[in-house]
A and B are shown apart, each in its own frame.
Chain A
Amino acid sequence: MNWYNIVFYLFALIVLVSAAGVVFSRKMMYAAFSLLFTFFGVAGLYVLLNADFIAVTQIMVYIGGILILIIFGVMLTSKFTDLEIKSGTTGTVQYVLAGISTIIVAAALIIMYLNVDWVQNPVPELESTVKPIGILLMTKYFLAFQVAAILLLLAFIGAAKIARRK
C-alpha cells in the first residue's frame, strides 16, 4: 500500500460515490453538486494516469463550463416556488428493469475485463504532455482540430437560434 494506491482508491471512491449520488439523488441541485465531485475525481484519476493537460482541461471545461450550464438549465426550467427542485423517476417497472439490466451490463463488462489478458506496454516516462499534444494538434490532427472549431462555432450559433423565443 503505497501513496499512489491510497490516492487512487481515494479518487475512485469519490468518483463512484458521487456518480451514484448524481443518479440516485432526488433533488436536482444535489445531483448537480455530486456531478461536480465526479468531474473532480475523474480529473484526479487523469493526473494519476500522467495526463496533466487532459486533467486541467477536464476541470476547466467540465466544471467551469458544462456544469455551470447545467445548473443554469436546472434553474431556468423549474418553477422557482421552492428551492427543493425535485426530479421524479419514470415508473417502478422501468426502474426495476433498468436496475437489473444495467447491473448485468456492468457485471458482464467487469468479468470480461478481468478475464482478458491485456497487452501491457511499458509505461512511458513521466513528462509534460502539453507540448507534444500541441504539436500533434497543429500537424497530424490539424484538420480534425479545425473541424472541431467550426463545430463549436456552429453549436454556438445553433444554440442561440434554438433557444431564442419566436
Chain B
Amino acid sequence: MTNELTLYLIIGAILFSLGVFGIITRKNAIMVLMSMELILNSANINFIAFAKYGGMNLEGHIAAMFVIILAAAEVAVALAIVLNIYHNFRHVNIDEISKMKE
C-alpha cells in the first residue's frame, strides 16, 4: 500500500474534482458557492498533509488558517452579491444571468 501522504493527497484531489464538477454543473449560485468551499477544503487538506509529512510544519498551518479567513470573507461578500442578484432577477440561477455576453 502507498504511504499516508499520498492517501491524503488523493482525498484532496477527489474533493477538488468534485468541487469543480459542482461549480460547472449546478444552476443555483449558492450551490456553486458550496462547491467552491469543497475546493478550498481540498487545498487545506494538502497544506496540512504537507505540514506533517513534507516538512512544512507550522507554515502549512498558518497558510491553512489564512485560507479559512479568506473563505469567510469570500462567503460573506458572495452571499451579499447573491442576495442583490435575487432582488434584481427574483432568482439566482447563474446560467440565466448572461449579461456578461454583451
User: How many angstroms between the C-alpha atoms of A161 and B91 in the bound complex?
Assistant: 20
Pick the contact of A31: B4, B31, B54, B93 (CB < 8 A): B31
Contact in complex: A49, B76 (CB < 8 Å)? no
User: How many angstroms between the C-alpha atoms of A133 and B10 in the bound complex?
Assistant: 27
Q: Specify the main secondary structure of chain B where it touches its partner.
A: helix
B34-60 toward A: CB 8 Å interface, digit per residue (1/0)? 110110010011001101111101100
A48 to chain B, nearest CB (A): 9
Q: Count chain B residues whose beta carbon lies closer than 8 angstroms to a beta carbon of A.
A: 72
Pick the contact of A28: B20, B30, B87 (CB < 8 A): B30
Contact in complex: A121, B54 (CB < 8 Å)? yes
A140 to chain B, nearest CB (A): 8
B5 lies within 8 A of chain A by Cβ: yes
Pick the contact of A106: B14, B55, B79 (CB < 8 A): B14
| 4 more CB-based (< 8 A) A-B contacts, given A19-B19, A51-B51, A54-B48 | A23-B18, A66-B37, A76-B83, A98-B25
A98-109 toward B: CB 8 Å interface, digit per residue (1/0)? 110011011001
- For B53, what are the chain A residues with a Cβ–Cβ distance below 8 Å? 118, 120-121, 123
User: How many angstroms between the C-alpha atoms of A50 and B64 in the bound complex?
Assistant: 13
User: How many angstroms between the C-alpha atoms of A94 and B7 in the bound complex?
Assistant: 30
Give the top 8 A-B pairs by smallest Cβ distance, nearest first: A121-B55, A155-B73, A106-B17, A87-B28, A159-B80, A109-B13, A163-B80, A98-B24
B81 lies within 8 A of chain A by Cβ: yes
Residues of B near any A CB (own CB < 8 A)? 2-11, 13-22, 24-31, 33-35, 37-38, 41, 44-45, 48-49, 51-55, 57-58, 61-62, 64-66, 68-77, 79-84, 86-87, 91-93, 95
- For B61, what are the chain A residues with a Cβ–Cβ distance below 8 Å? 51, 53-54, 129, 133
